[in-house]
């Protein structure tokens, strides 16, 4: 089976005034189906930038990206949005749930917004996902009445709603305490195993990285000697 992600020679140069900053200087990154990869690196090393480029939220200065066999270069803005909607899932440090909607509605919305409404099939899938993330008893709670960890679990369920091939997570446990972070991480590992969804998780946290199947470290704008590990219990 071909790679889920094949990024080659990704370069990113930001221009702040007259000073161009080369944040990424030719990153090569390939993810196989079912990988749970941690993206590590010092603060400011370009982790979020790389994740945004891979997530089609940012266009790189140089390089090519192929996701699930689809080359991205030729896609228009609208096609990129459609691609994000159908094939990618996102988990951010700040979940930004729609505060006036229930947990179920929040999970369903990546499917509901393009369709124009929540169909019964969407609702039942959203409920299944909520049950899997351990929120069976919170499905009809408004998002504002959930705890931080619960909100992040809703965000994970939301990222899985459209059955994405690649889930991109930027500091998903960054604003959670140890226990909640453990739960969220275990959940991602479980989904990764059960659904064979590929994860790229950007983190500072060694404990998070230790539980992933692979570590990718950014240094000086490049991937530092990528090494495989089997994780603690993977």
Q: Binding residues for ligand ATP, per CB under 6 A?
A: 14, 16, 23, 41, 43-49, 204
- First-to-last C-alpha distance (Å) of the chain: 21
Tokens of 205: 């946290």
Tokens of 126: 């959203």
90 binds, among ligand ATP, another protein, Mg ion, none (CB under 5 to 8 A by kind): another protein
Q: In 3-state terms, what secondary structure has residue 186? A: helix
User: Nearest approach, Cβ of 221 to ligand ATP (angstroms)?
Assistant: 9
Strand locations in the chain (E): 5-16, 19-31, 36-41, 62-67, 70-71, 88-91, 166-170, 198-202, 214-219, 222-228
Which one of the spans 36-44, 84-92, 123-131, 207-215 is the region binding another protein (CB under 8 A)? 84-92
Tokens 């996102």 sit at which residue? 90
Q: How many CB atoms lie within 10 A of CB 200?
A: 26
145 sits near another protein (criterion: CB under 8 A): no
92 vs 109, beta carbon nearer ligand ATP: 92
Distance CA 181, CA 6 (A): 29
Q: How many CB atoms lie within 10 A of CB 66?
A: 17
Q: Per CB under 5 A, which of residues 28..87 are in contact with Mg ion?
A: 48
Nearest to 186 by CA among 212, 166, 155, 222: 212
Which one of the spans 15-23, 96-104, 123-131, 210-218 is the region binding another protein (CB under 8 A)? 96-104
131 binds, among ligand ATP, Mg ion, another protein, none (CB under 5 to 8 A by kind): none
Report how many residues bind another protein under the rule CB under 8 A.
Answer: 32
179 binds, among ligand ATP, Mg ion, another protein, none (CB under 5 to 8 A by kind): none
Asked if 73 and 50 count as a contact pair (C-beta separation under 8 A), the reply is no
The binder of another protein chosen from 47, 92, 185, 201 (CB under 8 A): 92
131 sits near another protein (criterion: CB under 8 A): no
The binder of another protein chosen from 13, 61, 66, 85 (CB under 8 A): 85
Q: How many CB atoms lie within 10 A of CB 49?
A: 21
Query: Which residues lie near another protein (CB under 8 A)?
Result: 52, 55, 57-58, 78, 81-86, 88, 90, 92, 94-101, 109-110, 112-118, 158
């Amino acid at each position: 089976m071909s790679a889920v992600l094949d990024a080659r020679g990704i370069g990113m140069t930001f221009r702040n005034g007259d000073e161009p900053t080369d944040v990424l200087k030719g990153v090569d990154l390939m993810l196989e189906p079912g990988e749970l990869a941690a993206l590590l690196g010092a603060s400011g090393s370009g982790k979020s930038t790389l994740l945004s480029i891979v997530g089609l939220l940012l266009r790189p200065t140089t390089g090519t990206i192929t996701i699930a066999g689809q080359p991205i270069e030729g896609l228009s803005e609208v096609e990129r949005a459609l691609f994000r909607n159908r094939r990618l899932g996102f988990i951010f440090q700040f979940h930004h749930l729609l505060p006036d909607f229930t947990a179920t509605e929040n999970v369903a919305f990546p499917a509901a917004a393009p369709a124009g409404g929540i169909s019964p099939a969407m609702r039942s899938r959203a409920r299944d996902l909520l049950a899997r993330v351990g929120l069976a008893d919170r499905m009809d709670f408004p998002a504002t009445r959930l705890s931080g960890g619960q909100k992040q679990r809703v965000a994970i369920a939301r990222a899985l709603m459209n059955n994405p091939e690649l889930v991109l997570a930027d500091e998903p446990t960054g604003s959670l305490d140890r226990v909640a972070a453990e739960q969220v991480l275990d959940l991602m590992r479980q989904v990764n195993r059960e659904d064979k969804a590929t994860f790229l998780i950007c983190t500072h946290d060694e404990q998070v990285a230790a539980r992933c199947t692979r570590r990718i470290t950014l240094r000086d704008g490049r991937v530092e000697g990528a090494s495989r590990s089997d994780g603690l219990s993977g």
